[in-house]
Structure 1
Amino acid sequence: MKSIALLFSFFYASMLHAQSIQLLDSNRNISIRGLSVVSNEVIWLSGSKGTVAVSTNGGKTFEWKKVAGFEQRDFRDIEAFNATTAVMIAVDTPAVILKTTDGGNTWKKVFEDKRPGMFLDALEFWNQNSGIVIGDPVDGKIFIARSFDGGDTWRGLPETNYPTAEAGEAMFASSGTNIVKLNQQEAVFVTGGKRSRLFIRDLKLDLPIVQGKEYTGANSVAVFDEKNIIIVGGDFTNDTSRSSNCVLTHDKGKTFVQPATPPFGYRSCVTYLTKKKLITCGTSGIDVSEDGGMNWRNISKESFHVVMRAKKGTAVFLAGRNGRIAKLIW
């Protein structure tokens, strides 16, 4: 009887910690890297070939749209406020930011920069009014612009305030999560390439993460609170390598620690589900941690670029290549 009770207890505990992936859509000739989960019901996605998708029923169905005049552009990040209003960026030159207020049926160009080398990487909004966009260095300066009217207009920082990048240092537009809010006023961002750093206000902190080559370094940063921050990345060209692909700080960057059991390869996105439970994904699979990011367990070998939890709710969705969209069952 004691053995049966112990077996039942183990089975029950395993069920409590089980996670699985429910595929919602796939087999489309597009890559999705932009994802914004407004609530358990409202999900926005953006990707290659001028594509946007919207669901208002929790992913049961998606309405797929092509943005007129931008059919060849790659929308790498999107920020949605509700079922009708969203802002998104198109990578590469010219750098473009678009906004919709009618559910994605029409889009207005609210920003454009035609300078050679302009490449927007990610968007972040503190609230429905205040937002920030970050882009690769131009003439050695990391591009940053701000909006204070919900994305209707954007203004670059004064030239002297742009952060300086080292040679070969840039950002990866892999999931729209290399910049995130730290608190109600500040944002943090990570760089990669030949040098990989965490930028917190005036601090530029070198990361103990693989770097030194064009496709190495940090890809994504997630913040639980001002002290607890996690960063993932790796080597995109060797996406099953687990060497120095994740780093955590519990004191706002004063010290960094690497996981005892790291994620199972290159990872392009990471997010907190709770303080202890996290999820990360990349081209070689999906991993979860239940101890604050110190130990990771692989739950799928399927390729995904981005994973997000609902801003208002508990639903978690993923998206990636071939138009693949999935939901985390947890």
Structure 2
Amino acid sequence: MKEIFIALFAICAGAQNHKINFETKVLSATQLSCRALYVDNDKVWLGMDKGRYGYYDKKTDSLYIHTVASVHPTTEFRSIAVTKSAVFILAVGNPAKLIKIDKATLQEQLVYTEEHEKVFYDSMQFVDELNGFAMGDPTSDCFSFLSTSDGGLSWQKTSCEKLPKLIEGEAAFATSNTNLIIRGKSIMMVSGGKQSRVFVSTDFGKSWDVYPTPIVQGEEMTGIFTADFYNEKIGIVAGGNYLKQNQNWANKAVTTDGGITWKCVADSSAFGYASCVQFVPNSKGKKIVSVGGTGVYYSKDFGINWIQLADDKDWYTFRFESDRVGYATGKNKLIRFELK
């Protein structure tokens, strides 16, 4: 049974004049774990646990869930990407299976499989109707990096000879499908663990530069868990220490030069561990929302100051539909929210 809950917050942060109304509505409380979400025109597509995907139909206010026939029932789909005609979901573990789903018929097609004891894919994005990319943890000494140029019908894995090297213990976290960001011709990938770095290509992956960040690093569960870029220059990375989720220093940093240099913001204040961070559309890169282990937070000044919108710790990922409306999901819930 679907449960509906509406919360309205009028929040003012004094000197910073952070005043905003925040309204949330629980669209579904179905038992699920979801870290992959895409807001389409009339649907919100979801990649889930237990070998499932689904979509929320905005017109009928209904959630539909399907089980993929060609995967094991313990499969988790934590990456999702969408074209005009198809939805793509990518499993995290071994074997990694990439499924193409026809939007009109919901027909499923297995378009890529990879078997390796270390295989673990984290994020996937399409640039246009033909070109898409996916990235994951290393099976050798570089990120796993997939590409397609035929609309997702076939995928190729890039050789480590053409990619930057990772150090032992450096990888990525599949928390919200935000380890891989594409803006214009620029591709940005982020790492965590023993090092927290940003990998930048300005030519669709033909060449790469690697830049350090001040995000906490050195342990298995530290580093960058999420990133977003407003355009090719303005970006934010966030994360922290998953095992110490209240730790709020060296866990958020911003760039204005395409990821070359980074500066920590709101050190020892605002949120701790973050699983997903997103720029508000049409905000000139000033407004940002973050979700994670210490709640939902909002900034209107490029991350310098933050206010807490909600203390819900079960939001894993979210995306905006507009500069006011967005959808979030996580543990046993799908939520529509609005900034006013």
TM-score by length of 1: 0.89
Q: Does 1:207 align with 2:213?
A: yes
**Equivalent position of 1:191 in the other structure:** 191
The residue type paired with residue 277 of structure 1 is K
C-alpha distance in 2 between matches for 1:278 and 1:125 = 23
Higher mean C-alpha displacement, 128-137 vs 276-285: 276-285
**Equivalent position of 2:29 in the other structure:** 26
Higher strand share: 2
C-alpha distance in 1 between matches for 2:103 and 2:307 = 41
**Equivalent position of 2:10 in the other structure:** none
Alignment counterpart, residue 290 of structure 1, candidates 293, 297, 300? 300
Q: Is the 8 A contact 2:48 2:76 kept in 1?
A: yes
Q: Does 1:325 align with 2:334?
A: yes
**Equivalent position of 1:77 in the other structure:** 79
**Equivalent position of 1:161 in the other structure:** 162
- Identical aligned pairs, as a percentage? 26
The alpha-carbon deviation at position 234 of structure 1 amounts to 0.8
C-alpha distance in 2 between matches for 1:283 and 1:292 = 21
The residue type paired with residue 284 of structure 1 is T
Q: Does 1:62 align with 2:72?
A: no
Higher mean C-alpha displacement, 54-63 vs 268-277: 54-63
Q: Which runs of 5+ in 2 are unaligned?
A: 1-12, 202-207
Q: Is the 8 A contact 1:258 1:294 kept in 2?
A: no
The alpha-carbon deviation at position 313 of structure 1 amounts to 7.6
Q: Is the 8 A contact 2:216 2:250 kept in 1?
A: yes
Alignment counterpart, residue 277 of structure 1, candidates 282, 287, 296? 287
Q: Does 1:243 align with 2:255?
A: no
After superposition, residues 92-107 of structure 1 pair within 5 angstroms as: 92-102=93-103, 105-107=106-108
The residue type paired with residue 34 of structure 2 is I
Shift in alpha-carbon separation, 1:48–1:104, aligned structure 2, 3 A: farther
In structure 1, the residue corresponding to 2:264 is in which secondary structure?
A: coil
Question: Following TM superposition, where does structure 1 have runs of at least 4 consecutive aligned residues deviating by more than 4 angstroms?
Answer: 13-16
The alpha-carbon deviation at position 159 of structure 1 amounts to 3.8
**Equivalent position of 1:50 in the other structure:** 51
C-alpha distance in 2 between matches for 1:104 and 1:291 = 44
Superposed CA RMSD in Å reads: 2.4
**Equivalent position of 2:152 in the other structure:** 151
Q: Deviations over 1:223-272 (max 9, x none)?
A: 11122110011111111221211100112234322223654110011111
Q: Deviations over 1:178-232 (max 9, x none)?
A: 111032x221010001111011122211110111111110011111112211001
In structure 1, the residue corresponding to 2:161 is in which secondary structure?
A: helix
Q: Does 1:264 align with 2:271?
A: yes
Shift in alpha-carbon separation, 1:100–1:246, aligned structure 2, 3 A: same
Q: Deviations over 1:116-175 (max 9, x none)?
A: 211111101111211001011112121111011221110112341132111110010111
C-alpha distance in 1 between matches for 2:293 and 2:245 = 7
Q: Is the 8 A contact 1:67 1:106 kept in 2?
A: no
The residue type paired with residue 49 of structure 1 is K
C-alpha distance in 2 between matches for 1:227 and 1:252 = 4
C-alpha distance in 2 between matches for 1:233 and 1:21 = 24
